[in-house]
Structure 1
Amino acid sequence: MATDITTDRLRELAETRPAQGKVLSVFINLDPREFATPPARATEIRSVLDAAARSIRDRDDLTHQERAGLEHDVERVAERLRGGTDTEGARALAVFASESAGLFEVLRLPRPVPHRVGIGDSPCVEPLAQIGAGELWWIVLCDRRRVRLLAGTTDGLVELWRQDDEVSGRHDQGGLSQSRYQRGIEKEVDDHLRAVDGELQRRLRGRHLAGVLLGGPKETVAHLEDLLHADVRRCVRGRVDVDVWNTSADEVLQAAAPVLGELIARRDDELRQRIDEGLGTGGRAASGLGDVLTAVHERRVEVLVVQDGFAAVGIRCPRCGWLGVSAGAQCPADGTMTEPVENVVEAAVAGTFAQDGRVRYLPVDDADLEQKGSIAALLRF
């Protein structure tokens, strides 16, 4: 399935911090292998929301106003999910609610995630980052008269746009008439491809893409690529061989999966190399939890790289948001006494999204990243 997660949504969530009250984050596993029927899913949702209510009751650090707000948020979530519409096709749900912040988001996830209830000053976004959010790909399928644009991740694609531009058929008479007619057809094709380029330019503005794949007849795709504006052309990463018009989004993804897998592996290798070069020259890279947290606080992180499963306790300054690892320490920025953070890696992920950075999780058996302390970052400056 296509995912509801986008880079923009993650950044907006990470930046959400209500002036008063707390944020409720709920992750509900709806793996169809375990919860195949609507009644089973409804029972699981009730179970997780009951756990959320207990968590609120058991917290002894909440003010009366914060507790009342969270209890109302649980009721809002229960009411929203009661109909079952949000669960259709989802393997998990992520729900974020804070009435005081005007926040209520229900995101369908393409992979199962463990049940989790979070109560904090901002939404818990780390599980979304682990799914690979932000790595948005476009697949453009185009022939001489038709075009489709699909977008998504390796977990699923959704069709954003399709268009059929009528192009005249072939003229069978010879001589000058045939020549003029053929030139007219080629102009219509050229106009069609230029219109495709214009639409892609419009949709690309203000959006970060991992890359674009082109598919269709070789001659048409080559012509389209020649016509693409530089901003679109620099995003093109390769080709996919699939029928332009009569394939489902799942069939397109199946055809593109080998190409995407190779491109993602290549990007990861290039990312590792850039981090190694930066560390080797004392340049734009950091490794180890302490140095990375400093870079997050200084808003220098372009890409945060985390080993799957890595977590650590830490501290946070309640005034400026500084993150550290030494328990009971004062904030070096303003001298405020810090407060404990159960998982400071999660806070670093949220901080990276808030500064419009990317987060990339690498496998738990990545020995190179483990030697760097299981966390590293490519820096902007």
Structure 2
Amino acid sequence: MSPARSFRRPPADGSIAREECGATGRKRATMITAEIVHRILRLRGDGLPLVSVYVRVPTDPTDRADLPGRLNSVLDQVEPMAEDKSLDRAARLSLRGDMERMREEVRTERWRPGAVAFFSCSARDVFEAVQLPRAVQDRVVLDETPWVRPMLAVLEEYARCCVVVVDRARARVWEWFADEIEPIAALSDRTMRKPNYAATMAEDRVHHKAEELAREHYRHTAAELAQLHEADGYDLLAVGGHRAELPQFLDALPRGLRKRVAGTFTVDPHTVDRGTIKQKVEPIVARYMRDVDLRLVGEVLESVARGRGFGVLGVADCLWAATVKAVETLLVQDGAMVAGVACTNCSWLGTSGDTCPLCEHATRHTEDILDELTRAVIDESGSVRHVQEDTDIAEHLAAASLRFPLPPVP
């Protein structure tokens, strides 16, 4: 019999793609993670424009070579402002520095298909470049805060999935995130060389021992997976292996981990490779994300329908709910943009008005008040989800479940 072994894990810092430095020492673009999004949310221009740019990176290498041209087309909207004498000199110089840095990045860095997001305020020494795993619409927004909604929407599409392929003696574990899959652990346990090698009289005893070793292996694997989940907080679990063996392994999972199982798939554990794993897991994750959208929409609309004040529908009501810090879960239709205003003093949010109705300070106009809305909800530890499915949310653009009923609108 072979000895039991625990999961072997490569060193990791919790992120899929890590910041690296090239020979020049300059920080390369990072793949999107929740930590990076929260870091960018804290960026500020402090009175100067912070430029947010999203540029699609084509799949075809020939088209990708024209990425500098695509960026220039987006920055054409900023060029006139950098020369506008009505702006402060510091703002004009900052914009010129922003454009120069972004152009340098697309010339010197190698970009993967999908998109890249830039956030820059050169006068404040602010610059971030983030690689996105899928294409988004080319766009530039100037504001005192970063425009993060496209990045948030992309991040929400990609649940972190723990994938385990198991047989009666071995288990291999991968992490699937943002269309990338990486091996993270492997395990092997004791097994009989051949459970049917014994003579007839001892055959039942040998088979019993083989079954007991398999059950021990399943329990061992389940315990190790529970530790991985506790450490890394995976959104879901996908389980693969021989069809006849999967039920016994699933029964060995702790109840909390069993609830995370989004689907199973049949593969030969001895021949499975990364390509096969991706092919099997992608539809499982897609179905899971679609079900999450529909479930959340149903829960929020049910809260609205009860009429007890714990749900709101529509942009205006959601803005007021965020202003008073009442939002528990915010749903926003993916791709929607609505102009609005934000108070520079008390964080009131509205669709229009030059003066805040709460404190009478001046408001700041923004191209996308839904971006300010999502930021306000996240700042108060609420959850945000951009809904891609065609649901009743689409007509109203936003809906929210609330922690408490709203006070009257001023």
| Normalised-by-shorter TM-score class | 0.7 to 0.9
Report the counterpart of residue 342 of structure 2 in structure 1. 316
Report the counterpart of residue 264 of structure 1 in structure 2. 289
Unaligned stretches of 5+ in structure 2? 1-16, 18-29, 405-410
Shift in alpha-carbon separation, 1:32–1:258, aligned structure 2, 3 A: closer
Q: Does 1:377 align with 2:377?
A: no
* TM-score of the aligned structures, taking structure 2 as reference length: 0.75
Shift in alpha-carbon separation, 1:299–1:167, aligned structure 2, 3 A: farther
Contact kept? 1:353, 1:359, Cα under 8 Å: no
Counterpart code for 1:369: I
Q: CA deviation at 1:276?
A: 2.1
Q: Does 1:109 align with 2:132?
A: yes
Q: CA deviation at 1:163?
A: 1.9
Q: CA deviation at 1:52?
A: 6.4
- Alignment counterpart, residue 118 of structure 1, candidates 109, 130, 141: 141
Q: Does 1:64 align with 2:80?
A: no
Q: CA deviation at 1:335?
A: 2.5
Cα distance in 1, alignment partners of residues 212 and 265 from structure 2: 29
Q: CA deviation at 1:200?
A: 2.7
Aligned residues: 367
Identical residues among aligned pairs (%): 20
Cα distance in 2, alignment partners of residues 360 and 152 from structure 1: 18
Report the counterpart of residue 127 of structure 1 in structure 2. 150
* Stretch deviating more after TM superposition (183-192 or 262-271): 183-192
Q: Deviations over 1:313-342 (max 9, x none)?
A: 21110122221013223241x221212222
Query: Equivalences for 1:190-201 in 2 at 5 Å?
Result: 190-201=219-230
Contact kept? 1:7, 1:134, Cα under 8 Å: no
Shift in alpha-carbon separation, 1:65–1:195, aligned structure 2, 3 A: same
Cα distance in 2, alignment partners of residues 59 and 215 from structure 1: 60
Q: Deviations over 1:145-194 (max 9, x none)?
A: 131222225xx132251325364452534549957974884445643443
* Stretch deviating more after TM superposition (317-326 or 181-190): 181-190
Query: Equivalences for 1:196-235 in 2 at 5 Å?
Result: 196-204=225-233, 209=235, 211-218=236-243, 221-235=246-260
Shift in alpha-carbon separation, 1:344–1:57, aligned structure 2, 3 A: same
Unaligned stretches of 5+ in structure 1? none
Contact kept? 1:132, 1:361, Cα under 8 Å: no
Secondary structure of the 2:156 match is coil
* Stretch deviating more after TM superposition (349-358 or 173-182): 173-182
Q: Does 1:91 align with 2:91?
A: no
Cα distance in 2, alignment partners of residues 98 and 243 from structure 1: 52
Task: Return the index of the structure with the highest Cα Rg.
Answer: 2
Shift in alpha-carbon separation, 1:338–1:44, aligned structure 2, 3 A: closer
Secondary structure of the 2:62 match is coil
Query: Equivalences for 1:297-312 in 2 at 5 Å?
Result: 297-312=323-338
Shift in alpha-carbon separation, 1:263–1:203, aligned structure 2, 3 A: closer
Report the counterpart of residue 34 of structure 2 in structure 1. 7
Cα distance in 2, alignment partners of residues 297 and 230 from structure 1: 39
Counterpart code for 2:393: L
Q: CA deviation at 1:57?
A: 0.7
Shift in alpha-carbon separation, 1:179–1:105, aligned structure 2, 3 A: same
Contact kept? 1:141, 1:244, Cα under 8 Å: no
Relative contact order: is structure 1 or structure 2 higher (C-alpha 8 Å, sep ≥ 6)? 1
- Alignment counterpart, residue 293 of structure 1, candidates 302, 305, 319: 319
Counterpart code for 2:294: D
Counterpart code for 2:58: D
Contact kept? 1:29, 1:93, Cα under 8 Å: yes
Counterpart code for 1:44: R
Q: CA deviation at 1:358?
A: 2.1
Counterpart code for 1:287: L
* Stretch deviating more after TM superposition (342-351 or 179-188): 179-188
Cα distance in 1, alignment partners of residues 86 and 279 from structure 2: 49
